[in-house]
Structure 1
């Protein structure tokens, strides 16, 4: 561009020296301005094309992320179902444990009690929903690609709720630890080990119930009660998250027309 203007200046100087008519100089200026306008228009068009190409590429990347998010959410829903199913088994075990361990004839049911009490923690699972795609987008700064603001807000709310599971998991682990400690004071370790390995009722003798001390038994039931409270809250939170996940899946598939793929 600078060379172009230098060329114009030099041409005008030469025309002045040669005494060329002023009319031709005016026409030359018009020609030069026209060339400049064309160059500017060309640059603007090139920028528009480049922006359009970048936007199309962003839309493709966004769509891929949306598909992956839907897959993650569907995986979460399966986890929520499994979590509540296993917790349902735990509630059944607790219903069997409490009346039998409080019974005066508890030693007659040592085998069943050892099985029921040990199976409680074997059935429990730490709930960790999937957040790989969202975290990947977050760390790479690609959350900005989500053009639907409502979907963006719903996703943010959903994934921020995972911190609640971390609290509930820690509470469950804490009470499970106290429960297992009390369990070891009541039943012989050998029978508990056999239950863990076989995950079925094993032969147990009355003397493999080490104590009937009401304080020790109460400690077990107390820890079991608080443990149950933690998983009940987990059930409630998992159900709420499942409903939110289903809504987000429907919203994403409708907005991005993923059902057509």
Structure 2
């Protein structure tokens, strides 16, 4: 095309037809500009296509994280609700002592369940990566971005609250250590027998069992132990509503992101 215009330009100059020369020169400039604009448009289209692919990839990763969070909040709610129930079952033994108080296996299992600590670790990897890399704005849907930010704030709040509960758990652990000698459980502990082939005599077992009974009686009569247990159960109980709300918020975001992925793929 450029060769064609050069030939016309040369012929026009030779014939001293200045008017025609300028017309062809302007036409050549217009074609060059159009070519540049087309190239820019293609480049912009390619960049938009790449950004769309990155956005969809992030949305899919967020979807996986949030689906796991849904399960986390359900399991955490159910586990801590059960711990609250068990704590109050054990507290109730003070007023209605029965065979359970004397059955160390049942009582020990309940206390273990009540006092076992489970960290809460929501899936924040994708959101944190987007935030730190400045890629959060790549999500076009403002509702999704706002909900992600709000959910992240709620996650931090529940984590801070849980630190208080963990402190109560640590105090229970310390109190239990002061009242209970783990060595007394060795003759009845499957884990101990798996790593030690030691054989206990009936007398040793009877002595260990008697010591365990004394320890559990001290635990059951410990005001410090049950005051802390009650504080922990109160915190657990108040957290239950928060876990339900976090599950609902995560579910709402899951539905919104699924819809957005479908729409973005079809665009």
TM-score bin (small chain)? 0.7 to 0.9
State whether structure 2 residue 155 is matched by structure 1 residue 150.
no
Q: Among residues 225, 231, 234, which one is paired with 2:230 in the alignment?
A: 225
In structure 1, distance between residues paired with 2:111 and 2:55: 49
Q: Among residues 246, 249, 256, which one is paired with 2:254 in the alignment?
A: 249
Aligned residue runs from structure 1 range 48-127, under 5 A: 48-101=41-94, 109=102, 111=104, 112-122=106-116, 124-127=117-120
Cα deviation, residue 226, structure 1:
1.7
Q: Residue in 1 aligned with 2:29?
A: 36
- Give the conservation status (yes or no) of the 8 Å contact 1:87–1:231: yes
Cα deviation, residue 105, structure 1:
8.1
- Give the conservation status (yes or no) of the 8 Å contact 2:59–2:257: yes
In structure 2, distance between residues paired with 1:40 and 1:25: 23
Alignment TM-score, normalising by the size of structure 2: 0.76
Q: Residue in 2 aligned with 1:189?
A: 182
Larger mean CA deviation between 107-116 and 73-82 belongs to: 107-116
Cα deviation, residue 215, structure 1:
11
- Say what the alpha-carbon RMSD is for the aligned residues: 3.7
- Give the conservation status (yes or no) of the 8 Å contact 1:108–1:206: no
| Structure 1 residues 249 and 241, CA gap change in structure 2 (3 angstroms) | same
Deviations 1:53-74 (A, max 9, x none): 1111211221122122111111
- Give the conservation status (yes or no) of the 8 Å contact 1:185–1:211: no
Provide structure 2 residue ranges, at least 5 long, that are not aligned to the other structure. 1-5, 193-204
Q: Residue in 2 aligned with 1:141?
A: 134
- Give the conservation status (yes or no) of the 8 Å contact 2:81–2:237: no
Cα deviation, residue 245, structure 1:
0.9
